[in-house]
Amino acid sequence: MAASTEKVSRYTPQEWRNLRLGLLFVSPWALGFLLFTIYPLLSSLYYSLTRYDLLRPPVFLGAKNYLTLFFDDPHFWNVMYNTLFYVGLSVPFGVGAAFLIANMLNSRIVARSFFRSVIYVPSIVPAVASAMVWQFLMNVQYGAINGVLRYFGLPIIPFLSNPGWAKPSLILVAIWAQGAAVVIFLAALQDVPRSLYEAATVDGANLWHRFRNVTIPLTSPIILFNLIMGLIVAFQEFTVPWLLTEGGPMNSTEFYLIHLYRNAFEYLRMGKASALAWILFLIIVVFSLIIFKSSARWVYYGGEK
Amino acid sequence: MTTIASESRTRPAPRQYHDTGNRWQTILLEVIKYAVLIPLTLSFAFPLYWMISSALKVDSQVYTMPPILLPFPIHPENFIEGWQILPFTRYAVNSVVFYTVPAVAFTVLSSTIVAYGFSRIRWPGRDTIFWLVVMTMMLPWAVTMVPLFITFKWLGWLDTYRPLVVPALFSHPYIVFLLRQFFMTLPEELSDAARIDGASEFGILFRIILPLTKPALAVVALFRFLWAWNDYLGPLIYLRDENRYPLALGIEQLSRRANDVGNFSNGIPYLMAVSTLVALPIIVTFFFAQRTFIEGISLTGMKG
């Protein structure tokens, strides 16, 4: 009460009017935030402490779901390994490749927008459609890639049917669909002032020096952005592995979201699935924080921050 | 374009500085650049080329080794025959009428209003609360997947498009973020003048701000269209009845049929033909709205 009377005296009628209006305008978001973010977050935390199959009411188990996952689940650590393998390679290589391609496109070049379009389009094609082509391309018997290898007398590659090859193959598909990052990088590179490169050249910097000391620092916030976004997406990759390998062969592509999906919607283990979801949430938060913390050392904010 | 212009303005002969006196190094770099870029671009383009060219083949051309790069004779009738194996016209109607159109309309309308509240009205606590919006952009959707399913089941919304479309009425954080960026670039005087004339905030938004931000609306509408059109996991979770399938689930259904050998011939060409048809609206939209796409994507990275 006391606080609110204080506020009355602090805000002018105009400010009150603005506050009411502002809240009115953002109310769809606020309502959605409560209904589709806060409530699900809290309820999934609750479900993660229960056994719940949608048919009978949830049974409270305490931390049992988490303990079973960590210490008594033959699949969990394999799923974790698969996911970290996939994220650990697809994100750095994807972002790195995107950055290098963007740099090549940013130099003096003919038909830049043509190259850019060709590299961007795979990222917007429906994942289901591209999964169909890749499945066909990577087929052992009649896939085009193995057809060419066989024609030249080279050994064929069991892209999707060999547990050792399946993960790298899916990473390849993921990198193929990295075009959005290339476009974001290219936009950032074009914002780097020309004069800096010219000054560096006058000072005797060669191509590598210019790349290392001008390009990378000035685009580092965007590298950070693409790393974090890539991380969030890669940890939750579902469609392409689900359609290409369905977690196989021999569970080698059973990634986190596939495992979560199976538990929730095939086995109706809503409690276990919620526990999996919360673990994933915490992993993503921790990884993002690590990247953010380390960014203080390598991200350059133009003297602002 | 702009880079070339500014280059020539600032330095009449920039080449002298670029190669630091070594012409061969420059030429070598150019050669390496194209030697990397051209094969790279070809391999990026190849899968989609393979999809379209295989759509024009028949089985005998598909299974020939080495692979046929340019099919002849071509079989464009695959597009019609493949489309008719499953009720793809119905799937297309489902995708457009029940998913894409409402999702785009709801998201753009609600996010416009919310973004206006976060940018064009000054109220205490606004920027603090906006941080929550940014945070939700980064929230993994996997966390809310299970409880939302439980809620929507409880509401009796399974096997409808409501779980996919109704949340769009409550704005989308990423689109709010993009629109806010656009709205902030407009001068404050525009709104002030209208306020003095007695215009309401809704009046200002719809009569003054929106006409000036049409390109921004196009960008976000395009992205939302893309997400809905390409969505696979959402329909997979919520839709069971095949009559309600969107195109994404229809393609998967066709691939299951095509993989059961002996079901029908030309399975792969039909699958590639339908995949091409489903990807086509996206590719065509891209070529007509290339600048909008690129601008939108470029803005994403700004102020990361």
pLDDT at A302: 66
In A, which residues are within 8 Å of B153 by CB distance?
A: 54
In A, which residues are within 8 Å of B51 by CB distance?
A: 129, 132-133
Q: Which of residues 142-181 of B touch A (CB under 8 A)?
A: 142-151, 153, 167, 169-171, 173, 176
Q: In whole angstroms, give the CA distance from residue B249 to residue B300.
A: 29
pLDDT at B258: 80
Contact A113 B63 (CB under 8 A): no
Confidence of residue A303 (pLDDT cuts 50, 70, 90): low
pLDDT at B10: 44
Q: Are B33 and A109 in contact (CB under 8 A)?
A: yes
Q: In whole angstroms, give the CA distance from residue B17 to residue A204.
A: 9
Residues A227-240, mean pLDDT to the nearest whole number: 94
Q: In whole angstroms, give the CA distance from residue B180 to residue B117.
A: 9
Nearest residue of chain B to residue A44 (CA atoms)? B147
Q: Which of A29, A202, A273 sits opposite B146 (nearest CB)?
A: A273
pLDDT at B22: 72
Domains of chain A in start order, with CATH, are 12-64 (no CATH), 67-298 (1.10.3720.10)
Helix %, strand %, coil % of chain A (to 5):
75, 0, 25
Burial call A196-215: b when 16+ CB within 10 Å, e when fewer: ebbebbeeebeeeebeeebb
Nearest residue of chain B to residue A115 (CA atoms)? B41
In B, which residues are within 8 Å of A257 by CB distance?
A: 142
Contact B171 A151 (CB under 8 A): no
Q: In whole angstroms, give the CA distance from residue B127 to residue B130.
A: 5
Contact B14 A198 (CB under 8 A): yes
In B, which residues are within 8 Å of A241 by CB distance?
A: none
Average pLDDT, chain A: 91
In A, which residues are within 8 Å of B110 by CB distance?
A: 28-29
CB neighbours of residue A69 within 10 Å:
19
Nearest residue of chain A to residue B32 (CA atoms)? A104
Could you tell me if B206 lies within 8 Å of chain A, comparing CB atoms?
A: no
Q: What is the largest CA-CA distance in chain A?
A: 85
pLDDT at A285: 93
Give chain A's length.
305
* pTM (2 d.p.): 0.90
Residue B69: both structure tokens together: 């790069």
Residues A175-204, mean pLDDT to the nearest whole number: 90
Q: In whole angstroms, give the CA distance from residue A170 to residue B121.
A: 47
Nearest residue of chain A to residue B279 (CA atoms)? A125
Q: Are B166 and B103 in contact (CB under 8 A)?
A: no
Residue B146: both structure tokens together: 């299970």
Contact B146 A125 (CB under 8 A): no
Helix %, strand %, coil % of chain B (to 5):
75, 0, 25
Q: In whole angstroms, give the CA distance from residue B178 to residue B171.
A: 12
- Nearest of B260, B75, B97 to residue B164 by alpha carbon: B97
Contact A183 B294 (CB under 8 A): yes
Residue A214: both structure tokens together: 């001008």
Bridge partners (DSSP) of residue A50 are: A60
Contact B17 A183 (CB under 8 A): no
Cα of A164 to nearest chain B Cα, Å: 23
Bridge partners (DSSP) of residue A59 are: A51
Contact A128 B44 (CB under 8 A): no
Q: In whole angstroms, give the CA distance from residue B43 to residue A129.
A: 17
Angle at B294 between CA B288 and CA B299, to 5 degrees: 140
Residues A46-71, mean pLDDT to the nearest whole number: 94
Could you report the per-residue pLDDT of A33-56, keeping only the tens digit for each?
Answer: 999 999 999 999 999 999 999 999
pLDDT at A15: 85
Q: Are B221 and B285 in contact (CB under 8 A)?
A: no
Could you tell me if B8 lies within 8 Å of chain A, comparing CB atoms?
A: no
Contact A194 B3 (CB under 8 A): yes
ipTM of model: 0.90
Cα of A221 to nearest chain B Cα, Å: 7
Could you state, in chain order, the average pLDDT of each consecutive group of 10 residues for chain B (304 residues)? 40 46 79 91 95 91 85 91 94 97 97 95 92 89 94 95 96 93 88 88 91 88 93 96 95 86 79 95 89 76 49
More confident residue, B254 or A10: B254
DSSP assignment of B257-298: HHHSTTS-S-HHHHHHHHHHHHHHHHHHHHHHSHHHHHHHHH
Q: Are B142 and A260 in contact (CB under 8 A)?
A: yes
Nearest residue of chain A to residue B25 (CA atoms)? A207
Q: Which of A118, A232, A277 sits opposite B138 (nearest CB)?
A: A232
Chain-centre distance of CA B104, in angstroms? 12
Nearest residue of chain B to residue A97 (CA atoms)? B40
Q: Are B296 and B105 in contact (CB under 8 A)?
A: no
Q: In whole angstroms, give the CA distance from residue B102 to residue B116.
A: 21
pLDDT at B65: 79
Under DSSP, is residue B29 helix (H, G, I), strand (E, B) or coil? helix
Bridge partners (DSSP) of residue A51 are: A59
Residue B118: both structure tokens together: 């976060």
Q: In whole angstroms, give the CA distance from residue A268 to residue B7.
A: 62
Q: In whole angstroms, give the CA distance from residue A251 to residue A265.
A: 18
